[in-house]
Chains A and B, each alone.
Chain A
Amino acid sequence: MNSIIQLEHIDKIYHTGEVDVHAVRDVSMQIGKGEFVAIMGASGSGKSTMMNILGCLDRPTRGKYLLDGVDVSQLDRDELASIRNQKIGFVFQGFNLLSRTSALENVELPMMYTRTNMRSHEQRERAVKALEIVGLVERAGHHPNQLSGGQQQRVAIARALVNQPAMLLADEPTGNLDTQTSIEIMGVFQKLNDEGITIIMVTHELDIASYTKRNIIMRDGRIVSDTAVANRLSAVEELRKLREAQQAVQLAS
């Protein structure tokens, strides 16, 4: 299996005030193509820092990070921005869509910063295709405030997909959503993963993590556990169960 991510002895130290904060200590790991990984841990465990480093938003203090075969640990700001643009699709907890901008234009946003020349109708086609994948093409003209939380997160996923990145990086993607919508979003991720897209997700919710294939648990900046998920949940199955339960409640009343 060729690896998308290869970390070798990564350290991250923040120099804030008098005390140095050692957020990540000597982390080495590999994530292969087509994997679906959840990184878990309590707050302060270093998982957010890991997320920032994996997402090329931040650089490690020490160590080597190979992303899709490219050593990104020593790149400058602009080079990292181009890597993010080409290889990483972000999905955030707070959706982070541009307000008063249509769903379609939100999805087109990463292509605005793609250095290769692309015709605007080509951009539009790609954005529409990405919205089709998340099943929101009929809402393309809606603004974020006209969409539900789940729909907004789908738009964000479409935006993450539009440049055909090497991986999706999701930071607590279900943190702002209710249970049913969370399962729906995990269903979208599972479907994308089935089609071969690598997904890395940071979460602190165990049940959400059990929709993935591999769970990495962090504590005090180190990886303390890295296991394959034994009883993997299927979002389709769980949604069916949830609906049956709701129907049962309705019938009973």
Chain B
Amino acid sequence: MKIFATLKVAARALKRNKMRTILTMLGMIIGVGAVIAMVSIGNGAKSQVEAQIASLGQNVILIFSGSFTRGGVHSGWGGAGTLSVEDALAIEREVPGVTLISPELRSGSQVASGNQNWSTTILGEGQDYLDIRQWPLVQGSMFGEQDVRGANKVAIIGKTISKQLFPDGNVLGQILRIKNVPFVIVGELVPKGLSLQGVDQDDIVLVPYTSAMKRLFGATMLRGITVQAKSASALDDVQNEIIDLLRQRHRIQPKREDDFTVKTQQEIAEAATATSKVMTALLAAIASVSLLVGGIGIMNIMLVSVTERTREIGIRMAVGAHGRDIRLQFLIEAITMSVIGGVIGIVLGVLISKFLAMHNNWPTLTSPLSILVAFLFSAAVGIVFGFYPAHKASQLDPIDALRYE
């Protein structure tokens, strides 16, 4: 049988019952549209998480100090201060594959300039911290090794601090008093906005870790160490060697727990994207149900159509149509409906996700892959749900079909 002629017959049959065809397609349109929109939302959320993780820097390993327990209260990571500056220097010296390292202290504090003051987070870091985080400056320059060695009173501020304390934008060379110790501002960070947890990443003051230890907090131990490995493939090796080295330095017996935690960026990323992956899968599953319902709608209408056109089937068989010709004809009608519905649904889904991105500021991401999958899936729905009615039509007896009223 001629495929083009069959397509023509299918188009005519679908046009004959316009309203019915449109309503049946609507099931597919809604189903595919929902899948596309939901997957776009899920993917958008996932890519946002990934972007945040990437903002940590490249090939980053984070080492946190262990927690301590006092009177049944756990202090949380970093509380015990089990990492020393010597640990950090040892890692830099002894672990191959480590390119940059930055010891870290963190504490909340009140900062002031002139008659303005603001409560913020003070971050004590090494001179390579911004290189590891790949975090550029808007103006000024990062403090250097000299400043770290001399525990100099220099500070880099985030956008929020500059907005709150220096509304005129003139920050370089200004004095910032941290715990009443005057620091000279030498740079301003590029704003990063809110983190995933909703923390303002620009509400921050960066000082040399030595200055933070000696001049501000009187601390002797570190909260953590940020390490950059030379490549992604070296991450696991570097991680293991750091663990070995620290266990050795801290004299931890075999089978005893570490008093520190070492996490690679990948592990952090996996943990963070796990939620959004589950969410994407869940949204897609819910949307798939409507696609299933759309498919059942097609099957329903095709069954009605086969019954209505029993006589036509009889005529076609009488003049020589084989069973497979009839089956193909009805199958093509079902596929035509599902594919046209699918394509409209794809357009609708993309529009919905664009709309959500624009009006609700939701991050959405429509991948070409999901469009392709949705298209193939809608064709598959037509085949799967169209097959039974088409097969039923092909099995009719021509004599009975011709007599059918």
Contacts and interface: CB of A to CB of B under 8 A. Distances in A.
**B is a partner of A:** yes
Interface of A: 52, 55, 57-58, 77-78, 81-82, 84-86, 90, 92, 96-98, 100-101, 109-110, 112-114, 159, 163
A85 B311 contact: no
Contacts of A52: 399
Contact of B323 (A78, A92, A112, A163): A78
Of B1, B311, B320, most buried by chain A (CB within 10 Å of CB) is B320
Contact of B322 (A57, A96, A113, A159): A113
Contact of A98 (B2, B312, B398, B402): B312
Given A52-B399, A100-B12, A101-B12, A90 B320 contact: no
Interface residues of B, number: 22
Nearest to B319: A110
B5 interface: yes
A96 B320 contact: no
Contacts of B1: 112-113
A100 B9 CA distance: 11
A57 B312 contact: no
Given A52-B399, A58-B399, A98 B321 contact: no
A163 to B, nearest CB: 8
Given A55-B318, A78-B324, 17 more contacts: A52-B399, A57-B318, A82-B320, A84-B319, A85-B319, A96-B311, A98-B312, A101-B12, A109-B319, A110-B319, A110-B320, A112-B2, A112-B5, A112-B321, A113-B316, A113-B319, A113-B325
Interface in B288-335: 311-312, 314-325
B255 interface: no
A109 B323 contact: no
B16 interface: yes
Nearest to A98: B312
B188 to A, nearest CB: 75
Contacts of B315: 96-98, 109
Contact of B320 (A58, A97, A98, A114): A114
B316 A96 contact: no
A92 B317 CA distance: 14
Nearest to B5: A112
A83 B216 CA distance: 101
Contacts of B322: 77-78, 81-82, 113
Nearest to A87: B320
B305 to A, nearest CB: 14
Main secondary structure of the interface of B (DSSP, over half): helix
A78 B321 CA distance: 8
A90 B321 CA distance: 14
A126 to B, nearest CB: 14
A81 B399 contact: no
A58 B397 CA distance: 9
Interface string B1-45: 110010000001000100000000000000000000000000000
A49 B98 CA distance: 93
A95 to B, nearest CB: 10
Contacts of A159: 319
Contact of A109 (B316, B399, B402): B316
A92 B402 contact: yes
B3 to A, nearest CB: 11
B92 to A, nearest CB: 79
A53 B235 CA distance: 81
A90 B399 contact: no
Contacts of A55: 318
A82 B2 CA distance: 15
Contacts of A110: 319-320
Contacts of A92: 402
B320 A81 contact: yes
B402 A84 contact: no
7 contacts: A52-B399, A58-B399, A84-B318, A100-B16, A101-B12, A113-B316, A163-B320
A100 B315 CA distance: 14
A193 to B, nearest CB: 21
A96 B399 CA distance: 13
Contact of A96 (B2, B318, B323, B324): B318
Contacts of B314: 96
A121 to B, nearest CB: 13
